[in-house]
Structure 1
Amino acid sequence: MRLTVTTWNINSVRLRIDSVLRFLAETQPDVLCLQETKCPDDAFPLKALRGSGYENVVFAGQKGYNGVAILSRFPLLGREVMAFCERQDARHISAVLGPEAGKAAGIVLHDFYVPAGGDVPDRDSNPKFAHKLDFLADLRAWGERRVSGPAILVGDLNVAPLEHDVWSHKQLLDVVSHTPVETEALETLRGEAGWIDSARLLVPEPEKIYTWWSYRSPDWSAANKGRRLDHAWVSPDLSGTVRDVTVARHARGWERPSDHAPVTLTLDL
């Protein structure tokens, strides 16, 4: 059985609902995990998404910022939303694929949106950066307690952890998302919990992988100054099933795009 799971920071699901529907029609993943939906639950475009063939939807939102959602062709069981840093910030949601998912049944899906951290990489002078580091610390503690079993963790983790996950390692060492304190925190928590970085399992360094290109670039495609901020991790028992990780770079060029591209993980179960 082939299972496809896409992660996409959509940067407002209502503003970009046409892009979401277009992607679903063209790519038809089994599961789509969204981040930064930027809308409260009562404004979530549930009808439109279910009309596209994804009847099973769980979401957690906030007005104007954050927000996560999981859309699935298969039933979703056991919806859970976890709070980090003692904040109800709609930065995590999880669910389990139901029995109708065949060999994929029982896989736990975790969808995360890690804080961006602001512009200044200093804990003392930038509360947003301090919050990001605290969130990563909480995520590390959660990973140590996670119940074993098949699981997939995806999302906008807002860290490009490896040297070739950015266009220039040297120039971005003091830029938020690639500072040593962030990259070490993310790689440490991933390694301790046993998560497998699917993209780098298949495409090891030094090949570059980007999933995000800044709005600030006048020609993002030509400049190609990207970062790999969006990730798809699997538990060790699924590592042998990973067949592909694809970045839909073309979607970054759609009208009124998100600055993130969809990333699709393919498993052969």
Structure 2
Amino acid sequence: MRIVTWNINSLRLRLPLLGEVIRHLAPDVICLQETKVPDPLFPEKALAELGYPYFVRKGMKGYNGVAILSRYPLVASEDTPDWCEKGDCRHVAATIATDSGPVEIHDFYVPAGGDIPDPEANPKYAHKLAFVDEVTAWFATHHKTRSVIVGDLNIAPLEHDVWSHKQLLDVVSHTPPETTRLNAWLETGFVDAMRHFVPPGEKLYTWWSYRNRDWSASNRGRRLDHVWITPDLKPSLTGMTVVREARDWASPSDHVPVVVDLAV
């Protein structure tokens, strides 16, 4: 099973780029974040024509939105909470049958958190911390097997997940309150699939700011996109790729797709 996760930053705007991802990577499952499309306008026909007739999605106008697209039938998971009771379309989950048994996939778009790393001064940052706390508590009491978490988790937890650990310690996405929480969520029973292939001592990024004109030369990136698996799937890992070249496509997202291959 080849899984791609990508913050597409508007599904309808970047549908042609999704076509490029499909042609280059031929994924079985595509998990998208920031689809920015309400459910009634979800481009079902276009996605079916691209080879993905099966999907689950939660979307809203202009903001957020997540979707799981599949070449194969899937069943939506109905027991997931409305995080922080905001109804803001940040999580969708589904189960897909494989030869070795079902695999449940969770697709998350964690709040970005604004610019000020102070929960009292910045409600967006407070929401982000509360969101991760709620998710962590839920997974701690809902132990899963044969499960995958993917998505734009909007936190770069490790020193080499950012271009400068020292300079970004006070920048939202790498502050200690965020990184501590993300690691606690991971420790509810998951393995960092990307770092299985790229050791923690090596730089690894999935996002480069639109503000940086020559993003590739300066390489001031962050790893905001993640793939986690339950330990029982670790022996199935066969490959991982960060599609860095996608950042140079016409009208790109500021995130690039991440690919993980599982022999299931």
TM-score interval (norm. to shorter):
over 0.9
> Residue type matched to 1:122 in 2?
D
Q: Is the 8 A contact 1:68 1:91 kept in 2?
A: yes
**Per-residue CA distance 1:225-254 (angstroms, 9 max, x = gap):** 000000000011111211222100111110
The aligned residue for residue 218 of structure 1 is 213
Q: Is the 8 A contact 2:56 2:76 kept in 1?
A: no
Match of 1:264 among 248, 255, 259: 259
Match of 2:234 among 239, 254, 262: 239
Q: Distance in 2 between matches of 1:181 and 1:241?
A: 33
Structure 2: state its 5+ residue gaps: none
Give matches, 1:27-66, under 5 Å: 27-66=25-64
TM-superposed deviation, 1:45: 1.1
Give matches, 1:65-104, under 5 Å: 65-80=63-78, 82-98=81-97, 101-103=98-100
Match of 1:121 among 103, 117, 124: 117
Identity among equivalent positions (%) equals 54
Q: Is the 8 A contact 2:143 2:189 kept in 1?
A: no
Structure 1: state its 5+ residue gaps: none
Q: Is the 8 A contact 1:57 1:69 kept in 2?
A: yes
| Residue 253 of structure 1 pairs with residue 248 of structure 2 | yes
The aligned residue for residue 203 of structure 2 is 208
TM-superposed deviation, 1:214: 0.2
Q: Distance in 2 between matches of 1:160 and 1:153?
A: 15
Q: Distance in 2 between matches of 1:169 and 1:266?
A: 29
> Residue type matched to 1:133 in 2?
L
Q: Distance in 1 between matches of 2:130 and 2:25?
A: 36
TM-superposed deviation, 1:82: 3.3
Name the Cα RMSD after superposition. Answer: 1.0
Q: Distance in 1 between matches of 2:102 and 2:76?
A: 10
Q: Distance in 2 between matches of 1:228 and 1:147?
A: 26
What secondary structure does 1:171 align onto?
Answer: helix
What secondary structure does 1:130 align onto?
Answer: helix
Moved over 2 A (4+): 78-82
What secondary structure does 2:83 align onto?
Answer: coil
The aligned residue for residue 131 of structure 1 is 127
How many positions carry a matched residue from both structures?
263
TM-superposed deviation, 1:79: 3.9
